Structure 1
Amino acid sequence: MVNENKKTEDNVISTLGDIKQIVADFTDMYADMRENITDDMLKRGDELERREEKLAQPSVAFYAHQLKDVLLDTTDEILIFEKTFTNEGTGYDTSTGLFTAPVGGLYQFNVHTCAYNGKYSYLGLVMEGNVIAADANFGDANFGCNTFGAIIRVKSGSKVWVKSTSSSSGYQLYQNSLRMNTFSGVLVNH
């Protein structure tokens, strides 16, 4: 009978050990599962925050055309594009030719101009007084057109414009319904 009690006791102790191991394994599995769920929820929260930020990004873009003056007879003269197709964020001023960044960020600017037949144009894309991109163009028999631009980081309130970098009576731009001179910009990333 003592042997039988000893066997039963050993079986009970062994079973209790197995139960303890099952509880420990279950506890570990639950802890891992809880950690994975927590990590997943944090990742989803971060993704939701990024999406909300992207939706909150301001819309800034302009596309201006129709030059007020096509003669390039004054060095540093700002080219004034009098009409806009787009002016999201109202950063481009058709009376001054200046774009004032309503928000800071990474912007892309493009300038497209056509030189008059037999005339030259020397232009610069300017940010806060510094030429950041330049173009030289000669108007052949087909009124040569060029495009130039830049992608730059602009601070809120900074000004960007297009100017004549050299002047002469032989320098002139050309525009008609087929050859539009344009200045455009768009906020790429805030």
Structure 2
Amino acid sequence: MKWKIALIVTVVLGFPIAFTAGVVLSLDIAADNNPAETLRTLAGSVGDWVSGLGSLAAAAVAVYLADNQRRNNVPKIDVDQYYSESGLVIDLTSCGEKDAVVRGVYIRDTVKKKQILISRPPFVDPKDIPRRFGYGDVQRITLPRTMFIGIQRDLVAEFSETDFSNLTLVVGTSTYEFREPLNAEFVAVIRKSLYPTM
């Protein structure tokens, strides 16, 4: 990306510098021969150059705006996690200009590249996820404390280990994944229930 910016800056600054150098050189040479004709030619030439630079600037702005719109026209999901004595609450809020089709919510081990699905019964009604989220739509997933042991068993069975230090909360959409570190208090509680002396 940096090389694109450098190229654009070089082109945009290069044309005015080349134009100025050309005008100075041509005035120096032409003014000696016929000063009146030089002024008439210069006036028309400056107009052509200004018009050309204006067109170039308009094209550069159009390319920039199209690229900016392409980047902003993607689904965006804001993921918030709240831990309390009663459980872990995960709020998904669609905040992008484009609708997001949420496929599922997972707890993933980033080292082993394995995951478990948590957007399933009894945590989420099957009609809630997968679904399309419009701007401002919110979905709440509640993992009650009474279900922590079941989640812990699923994690141990899937990851074949009891070190939960690499867990990430992943929201998968049809075009992108949104990742957040899993709530540290939640991880500490499920780890502590494996090792009560910790």
- TM-score normalised by the shorter chain: which range applies? 0.3 to 0.5
Of Structure 1 and Structure 2, the greater helix share is in 2
Of Structure 1 and Structure 2, the greater strand share is in 1
Task: Give the structure with higher Rg (CA).
Answer: 1
Normalising to structure 2: TM-score of the pair?
0.34
